[in-house]
Each structure stands twice: as C-alpha cells, then as structure tokens.
C-alpha cells in the first residue's frame, strides 16, 4: 500500500503518504465513540463505525444499514468494507459478526472463550474470508484468509486496536492505540504516531 489513514476515537482522521481527506466526526458530539473504519475500494471515501453500531459515511461510501437501534450482547469494536464496497461488516467484542449489503458470513468467534477480546476485522481481498483481531494482536482466520503472524506472544506497550490486509491478501498490518504499527507478510512500513502525544487514541489503520 502506498498510503494509509489512522483514525481516532473521536472520529479524527490522520493521513499518511498522500491519503486523501474526505471529512471526520472530530467536531461532532457522538453518542458513542468511533471504534472502526473502512475505506471504499475506489479510495474516494470511508466509513466510520461507532461502538453502538452507528455508521458515518464520507466521500463515495454508501450507507447499507447500522445497529444503532439494536440491543447488543457486546459492543461493536470494529468494521470493514466488503471486497466490492457494496457492503460492510461490523464485529463485536466477542467476535460476533454482523453483515450489511453484499458482505458474506464465513464464521465468528462468538461462541469461543477468548484470551483477549476482539477489536477489529480485516476482509480478504477476494471477498471470500476475513481475519478477526484480538487486543493482544492474536489473529483468527476464516474462509480464504491466511495466517502470516501476530503479536499474540509479544509484550506490547499499548493494546492492538485495528489492522488492514495487503491488497494481495499476502500480509497485513496491525496498529496499537498509541499508533504503533506492526507489519506482517507483503507490506511496507511508512511510519507511525507511536512517539507522538495524541489528543485521542488511535482506533484503526486503513490504506
């Protein structure tokens, strides 16, 4: 990937490597914090997802529904676009998966006892699988998604909160709340906010 975004819990958006800016919720009073984001396949927009399942759209990102009026067993902790951009996934802290639009279901960790709670989901570029990410950087694979490594056995300064898969499907990047970035497989490191003082914690990373 040639550029990427970092998104904060207030919906603030940080751009790196020439990533285009389409707006944010940084100046909006939110019912619940932003916990995930997804960039459209065209690169001309993005979605922001809140912990109550609320969905905010920017640029060419389309709205396919939300969980804002649904009573959840666990809060939403992340989201991801489908491979086509015609839908998206929301994931709960227990790894429960909610699909919208053309997003396909391949399984979940909703019935598994986890060492650490889930924080994010990454979709395989072929649209036939996804990775679920835990706070320790543990990775769960479903469908066509392959395992390339994790931070599950590493002592982290801050917990992992998000990730993004390489466009080839042959790697991924994980990000921590301080903006620390961990690369696996076929990805390139461009920098991080791990050494900066942030107004709000980072909640995900997207190309």
Q: What is the pTM of this model?
A: 0.83
| pLDDT confidence of residue 40 | 92
| pLDDT confidence of residue 1 | 53
- C-alpha span between 178 and 193 (Å, rounded): 7
Which of the residue ranges 81-95, 107-121, 181-195 has the most confident prediction, judged by mean pLDDT? 81-95
Order of strands across the sheet that contains 34-39: 34-39, 45-50, 55-59
**Alpha carbon 114 to its chain's center:** 19
| pLDDT confidence of residue 148 | 95
- Average pLDDT of the residues in 19-32: 91
Q: What is the mean pLDDT of the chain?
A: 89
Q: CA–CA distance from 119 to each of 16, 43, 94, 102 (Å)?
A: 23, 23, 9, 22
Q: What are the structure tokens assigned to 202, written together? A: 């980072």
Whether the CB-CB separation of 119 and 109 falls below 8 Å is answered with no
Sign of the torsion formed by the C-alpha atoms of 44, 131, 158 and 117: positive
In tens, the pLDDT along 153-174 reads: 888 888 998 888 888 889 999 9
Q: Per-residue confidence at 206, pLDDT binned at 50, 70, 90?
A: low
Q: Is 1.10.260 the CATH classification of the domain at 4-206?
A: no
Lowest mean pLDDT among 57-61, 110-114, 200-204: 200-204
Q: Which of 196, 202, 197, 200 lies closest to 164, judged by CA?
A: 202
Q: Per-residue confidence at 89, pLDDT binned at 50, 70, 90?
A: very high
């Amino acid at each position: 990937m040639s550029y990427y975004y970092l998104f904060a819990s207030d919906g603030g958006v940080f751009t790196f490597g020439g990533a285009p800016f389409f707006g944010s919720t940084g100046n909006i009073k939110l019912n619940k914090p932003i916990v995930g984001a997804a960039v459209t396949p065209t690169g001309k927009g993005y979605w922001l997802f809140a912990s109550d399942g609320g969905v905010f759209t920017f640029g060419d990102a389309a709205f396919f529904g939300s969980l804002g009026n649904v009573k959840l067993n666990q809060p939403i902790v992340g989201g991801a676009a489908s491979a086509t951009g015609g839908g998206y996934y929301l994931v709960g802290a227990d790894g429960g998966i909610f699909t919208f639009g053309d997003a396909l279901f391949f399984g979940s960790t909703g019935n598994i006892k986890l060492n650490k709670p889930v924080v994010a989901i990454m979709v395989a570029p072929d649209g036939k699988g996804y990775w679920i990410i835990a706070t320790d950087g543990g990775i769960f694979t479903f469908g066509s998604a392959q395992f390339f490594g994790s931070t599950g056995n590493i002592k982290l300064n801050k917990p992992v909160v998000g990730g993004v898969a390489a466009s080839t499907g042959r790697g991924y990047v994980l990000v921590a709340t301080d903006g620390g970035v961990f690369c696996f497989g076929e990805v390139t490191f461009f920098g991080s906010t791990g050494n900066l003082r942030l107004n709000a914690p980072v909640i995900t990373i997207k190309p």
